[in-house]
Amino acid sequence: MVEVKTKDESIILILQGVLDGTEHIDLPVLQLSHKKIQLVGENIESWNTDFVVTLFSVLKDVPKENITYSQLPQGMEQLLRLAFHAPHKEEENQRKKFPFLERIGEIGIHFCRSVKKGSIFIHECMASWSRQLIGKAVYRSKDFWMILTDCGPKSILIVSLISFMVGLILAFVGAIQLKTFGAQIYVASLVTIGMTRIMGAIMTGVIMAGRTGASYAATIGTMQVNEELDALQTMGISRTDFLVLPRMNALLLSMPILILLADVMGILGGCFVCVLFWDIPLSEYIKYSVNSFNMTNFLVGVFHGIVFGLIIALCGCYFGVHCGRNADSVGTATTNAVVYAIVWMIVMTGLLTALCQGLGI
């Protein structure tokens, strides 16, 4: 039972009997933050923490300096003092709204800091490659072969399937258009040139970004959460050498082979459509495919793939190394690694295409 009395600028709460949290505390409709509250205990038979919670919810806006205690059980008084030590203020959790120009400035500062962090990370990676050339990079060959196996042989099935379907789609779309001119036979040339020059590299890059880039970010991010990166730094081992370098090397070695596989599977996908659906003889498809194959186009596609592999490795390792210290940060790092890798691949595709066009390649 809680009895409420008012005296001048003070409110006296007399606590008595059984206090189990079911009490209704009826306070005057006044600003409690300007009132002095006196908690007085009289013949308290029993109490529990539910009552303490109820009392705190009623008086949470009262400053702790305005609350006095008299004749309360020791445990209850300690709990109340602890609860009121840091008053609950919901407005502190609300985001502050800044003026438009301040928000623009904050975005600019965040962008500049991101560019600086990215530049430092790329410089560290280049320094690791330099140390590798002179035999001073520190990483285990066992880790390299394990990573190479993961991003090479284990990726063959998914790359083959997607590339086959892309070649199939190119043949379907191309044949529908060329049929108007009675030139379905040139579907073989269309598929061969499209797959070897750019589509094989792009599809392989997208697959590896979602599969391997995300794996890199999640693995290194988890190591950051478990403080394994701090342990490497404490032991004097470069995390760039030990973690990033073998992953970059593995992707750079596997991407050209995967692109060659993607080109072959894409051409086979086009062959499947042309032979079974458009009644083009297999010998004619092979003839036009061989005639359309150009080593320059193939090398351009391989070069695109090498650039994509470097981008995927850098994005995955960067967001893993700069991951936060909780599980949610690992998920964010994984998402960012895939998104940024795909975006930068598209950007580099445009730049390389413009460069090849300017050089006449």
Dump pLDDT digits (tens) for 204-262.
999 999 888 888 998 888 888 888 888 888 888 888 888 888 888 899 899 999 999 99
Structure tokens at 99: 């003026």
Q: How confident is the model at residue 307 (pLDDT cuts 50, 70, 90)?
A: very high
Integer angstrom CA distances of residue 272 from 60, 190, 196, 282? 74, 14, 17, 9
Q: Tell me: pLDDT of 361 over 80.
A: no
pLDDT for 46: 74
Query: So where are the chain's domains?
Result: 2-89, 140-359
Q: How confident is the model at residue 88 (pLDDT cuts 50, 70, 90)?
A: low
Structure tokens at 259: 């692109």
Q: Please identify which residue in the block is written with the tokens 């002179």.
A: 134
pLDDT for 56: 73
* 2-89 under CATH 3.30.750, yes or no: yes
Q: How confident is the model at residue 281 (pLDDT cuts 50, 70, 90)?
A: confident
Check if the beta carbon of residue 244 is closer than 8 Å to that of residue 128. Answer: yes
Over residues 292-315, the mean pLDDT reads 90
Distance CA 192, CA 336 (A): 33
Q: Tell me: pLDDT of 301 over 50.
A: yes
Radius of gyration, alpha carbons of the chain: 34
Structure tokens at 328: 């949610």
Q: Tell me: pLDDT of 190 over 70.
A: yes
Say how many C-beta atoms besides its own lie within 10 A of residue 264's C-beta: 17
Look up the pTM and report it: 0.69
Integer angstrom CA distances of residue 301 from 171, 269, 325? 19, 18, 39
Q: Tell me: pLDDT of 92 over 50.
A: no
